[in-house]
Amino acid sequence: MDSSAAALLAGDLTGVAVFAASGGALGVAKRLDWFGVVFVGFAAALGGGILRDLVIDKPPVAFYDWRYGTTALVASALVFWWHARLERMRRMMLLLDAAGLALFTVTATIKALEAGVPPMGACLIGMITGIGGGLVRDLLVGEIPVVLQRDIYALAALIGAVVVAILTRLEAVTLLNMIGAGVLIFVVRLTALYRRWSAPRAKPM
Amino acid sequence: MDSSAAALLAGDLTGVAVFAASGGALGVAKRLDWFGVVFVGFAAALGGGILRDLVIDKPPVAFYDWRYGTTALVASALVFWWHARLERMRRMMLLLDAAGLALFTVTATIKALEAGVPPMGACLIGMITGIGGGLVRDLLVGEIPVVLQRDIYALAALIGAVVVAILTRLEAVTLLNMIGAGVLIFVVRLTALYRRWSAPRAKPM
Amino acid sequence: MDSSAAALLAGDLTGVAVFAASGGALGVAKRLDWFGVVFVGFAAALGGGILRDLVIDKPPVAFYDWRYGTTALVASALVFWWHARLERMRRMMLLLDAAGLALFTVTATIKALEAGVPPMGACLIGMITGIGGGLVRDLLVGEIPVVLQRDIYALAALIGAVVVAILTRLEAVTLLNMIGAGVLIFVVRLTALYRRWSAPRAKPM
């Protein structure tokens, strides 16, 4: 599975870049200095994966593999300099963010299952890794995390993680199937955005 | 200690249910959607235990034992649907919350001591596990954690953890003694609530 | 390297005391009760080191070595009682805080390198440990972390960590060189404070 390992790494790093950009953009909006912008970008890009690796008791790739840190650094630094341009790219950002959610959720669920976590726990780890970056990003700048308030964001991740767990149980873990699970997350998330789906709220008492 | 292990598990899961309910109720009050409600419930119920297991280097039960996740899920989903009724049960909730604090503190202190943590560290881990869920819950929705502001909440946990550590040093770890330590936390917490005890604040300068 | 181990421990505990004091002082300013004051002091003093030890997969000294907890406890309790006096000592506090930043960054970078983390990851761990206490402290009381907003704080830590990593690569890890790296962080931080240096912000669009 060498080519699939390479595909996963490429996907993972794309996710890192996208989340770093979203964190950096929020830092710019909050008027942080350039170090704060890069730091929030870093935390958004690598926070979910650090928690994942701690939970499955592996050395966190964020610190042990230089490609992760470098990717996060470059992406958030670029946002600092080019943020005016990014504003015009808002649609593109939402697309990339959905892609990052899909990639992180799928790779984290697979890594957790491979580390021997039972299916239900692996799905939770997959979902938390997918949404974790956005959570940390929003908490750092003092906001209630968007993921808790809006849309079908976390639910899309959970659905995809469950599909990965079922495919693994059926011993049908092929690169193609994993891409399918990622595309499912991506499509659910974008459809929810486009149709303004959103989960129900409790009625006021 | 088979029956006592079962008692501890029952106690632990009761604590999970109670904290999930308190997290869910806060999520409803903050007008989160149902996913946000369940997520805050989850974090409140399982956050303290995840930190505990990471620190004592065990696989986090929240991800490795399906009963924990399921209990948290069911309890916070119930709150979402029944929150009007829960409002009327506020007294009951405070009782259950104190029970959860007592159970989590005692079981975490025991687990830490068994994992070879020295007594002082085990007491801190016990206290942090007991109060951790409420901390995470409040941080997620952007509030200064209640535990830092009011009452004898954390102190009750710390007293109970110290009692557990002393009993362990005296080789008097029986199920009955552990229940006694839990009841102590429960009673201190409720007495503080009832009498409106509260720790002193620093005088304004 | 027995005497240097002792020097590092002394330095580490000084850092703990200083950060505990800064956390306690913020707790007093936020009108927390004495338990809240001590808790924020604790989190500020030990939070960065706990994350460091989890990442490099060592038992967290905060829980396994009683000297850390005791130092944090004493320092934050003293702040609770003496905070009026501390106010007058603001200059001294800034000096000590810069010293703590320097000490934590250097010791954490060394510990990470010794644990086999690659240089870039070790620098990140060193920086995060140095700034982590202040981050946790500010998040706990609901503020955007100061470190994200102002000054050359985190950058000073990063520069020092890189110097430590380079010296290690050159096999020039002597007590004197490590003190030099610490002094460099200290001086950069204080010069930035004194000259009101601060990293650039993104221009408004």
- Write out the residue range of the structural domain in which residue B166 sits: 2-195
Q: Is A102 among the domain residues? A: yes
Q: Do B112 and C63 touch (CB under 8 A)?
A: yes
When divided into structural domains, chain C yields a total of 1
Q: Which residues of A touch B71 (CB under 8 A)?
A: none
Residue C126 reports pLDDT greater than 90: yes
B26-64 as b/e: b if 16+ CB within 10 A: bbbebebbbbbbbbbbbbbbbbbbbbbbbbbeebbbbbb
Q: How far is B12 from chain C (nearest CA, A)?
A: 22
Taking contacts as CB-CB distances below 8 angstroms, the residues of chain B near A57 are 57, 59
A166: nearest Cα among A105, A103, A123, A114: A123
Tell me, yes or no, whether C133 lies in a domain: yes
Residue type present at position A144? I
User: Which residues 176-205 in chain B show a CB within 8 A of chain C?
Assistant: 198-202, 205
Q: Where are the beta strands (DSSP E) in A5-142?
A: none
Read off the pLDDT of each residue in A76-98 and give the average, rounded to a whole number. Answer: 74
- When pLDDT is cut at 50, 70 and 90, the band that residue C34 belongs to is confident
The rounded distance, in Å, linking the Cα atoms of C145 and A6 is: 37
- Do the Cβ atoms of A118 and B64 come within 8 Å? yes
Structure-token match 């050395």, residue found: A59
Size of interface B-C (CB pairs under 8 A): 78
In a domain, residue C11? The reply is: yes
What are the mean pLDDT values of chain B's consecutive 10-residue runs (205 residues total)? 70 87 85 84 90 89 91 90 68 76 91 91 92 85 75 85 92 82 91 74 58
Q: Is B133 inside a domain boundary?
A: yes
Q: Looking up tokens 């938390």, which residue turns up?
A: A128
Q: What is the pLDDT of residues B96-116, one digit of tens each?
A: 778 888 989 998 999 899 899
B135-169 pLDDT, tens digit per residue, is: 888 888 877 787 776 667 888 999 999 999 999 88
User: Exposure string (b/e) for B139-168, b if CB count within 10 Å is 16 or more?
Assistant: bbbeebbbbbbbbbbbbbbbbbbbbbbebb
For chain A, positions 139-158, list CB contacts with chain C under 8 A. Answer: 139-142
CA distance A3 to chain C (A): 25
ipTM: 0.75
Sequence-separated (6 or more) residues with CB below 8 Å from residue A125: A52, A55, A56, A108, A109, A112, A117, B63
Q: Name every residue whose Cβ is closer than 8 Å to that of residue B137 and which is 6 or more positions away in sequence.
A: B19, B22, B23, B26, B40, B43, B44, B47
Question: Cβ of B205 and C27 within 8 Å?
Answer: no
Residue C41 has pLDDT above 80, yes or no: yes
Interface residue B69 vs chain A (CB under 8 A) = yes
CB neighbours of residue B7 within 10 Å: 14
Residue C205 lies in a domain: no
Q: What is the band of C96 on the pLDDT scale with cuts at 50, 70, 90?
A: confident
Helix axes A2-29, A90-114, angle to 10 degrees: 130
Judging contacts by C-beta atoms under 8 Å, the chain B residues touching residue A143 are 142
CA angle C171, C174, C175 (to 5 degrees): 155
Domain presence at residue C48: yes
What is the C-alpha separation between C14 and C22, in angstroms, rounded? 12
Dump pLDDT digits (tens) for A41-56.
Answer: 998 999 889 989 998 9
- Residue A88, pLDDT > 70, answer no
Any CB–CB contact under 8 A between C62 and chain B? yes
| B156 neighbourhood in chain C, CB within 8 Å | none
Q: Which chains touch A (3 or more CB pairs under 8 A)?
A: B, C
SS (H, E, C) C66-99: HHHHHHHHHHHHHHHHHHHHHHHCHHHHHHHHHH
Q: What average pLDDT is seen over chain A?
A: 84
The answer to the question of residue B201 being in a domain is no
Tell me, what's the pLDDT at C23?
87
In a domain, A200, yes or no: no
| Closest Cα in chain C, distance from residue B48 (Å) | 14
